[in-house]
Copies of this chain bind each other. A is one copy, B any other.
């Protein structure tokens, strides 16, 4: 089994989807053992570090990658199975950033009101208890919350010659910020350029749906994924499959259109998997969809449409690639890597 390890130096951080030289070429089936810096490039480390003064570098959301996937061509589907996400530090940080977040005006939806107060919260990560601890600053409230490691960004190079900031979620994936992007999930991304140019980053030790203030419990992450390639089949929007659910993720503004995108894509998926016509798939989805919001803070808003596979007759998506990647991931457990 091919296992490739990569830990970027700061000079190797990617701040875009598309537009960067691949850090390496890998074959479909490769296990990637990666490390990815937190969204602040590691610059916010205490409650005294504030975004407006501490974020002095080249960009945010540093990506690990991009990886050139051998054989990937436009229209193909890249499968990225998340084997493991392990916090790489014993703390993560969240912060209010001036004019960034869901409950403040922003440059894309400005008002004349002043910015919210800047505040940084540092969450201790307890590796044994697998918790992160919130400590209030205006009172002595504190609570340990279960960690729920996830990746804010998983993406490929965009179509139409575009290069997008790693802060953007869109049809190419990117900064979708959904807690569904966790260990055990297989992400499916349509390939837009030769080699796919896949990257990931933005580890969150925990995040609620919506990511209201704009930052989760951001932390450097050790990441193990298996990448695989499905010829053809590229869908309109990123999809995720885990053991229980199929998901499609739309990223658009306003949020109802993100919902529409994810629903229409899921209708196409149900149609294909179960031989339904479009109206029947629309009807069925109406009664079974779960719709957790992903983010309402990024340049596009992301909404997830989920279908519980256990409600429906068995059907194998993408020729069962998720199941086989799960098996391969399980086998990895016996390796020490």
Contacts and interface: CB of A to CB of B under 8 A. Distances in A.
Interface of A: 15-16, 18-19, 59, 94, 96, 102-105, 107-117, 119, 121, 132, 134, 136-139, 141, 143, 145-146, 160-165, 167, 206-217, 236, 252-257, 259-261, 263-264, 267, 274-280, 282-293, 296, 301, 303, 305, 311-313
A33 B332 CA distance: 58
Nearest to A204: B287
22 contacts: A19-B161, A59-B161, A94-B287, A96-B282, A111-B111, A113-B113, A114-B114, A132-B287, A141-B313, A145-B287, A145-B311, A160-B165, A161-B165, A162-B163, A206-B287, A208-B291, A209-B290, A209-B291, A255-B259, A259-B296, A292-B292, A293-B303
A98 to B, nearest CB: 11
A102 B111 CA distance: 8
Contact of A139 (B109, B116, B277): B277
B15 A161 contact: yes
A256 B255 contact: yes
A162 B160 contact: no
B311 A143 contact: yes
A94 to B, nearest CB: 6
A291 B293 contact: yes
Contact of A207 (B114, B214, B252, B287): B287
A37 to B, nearest CB: 18
Nearest to A212: B286
A109 B260 contact: yes
Given A110-B261, A136-B277, A213 B293 contact: no
Contacts of A296: 256, 259-260
A105 to B, nearest CB: 6
A268 to B, nearest CB: 10
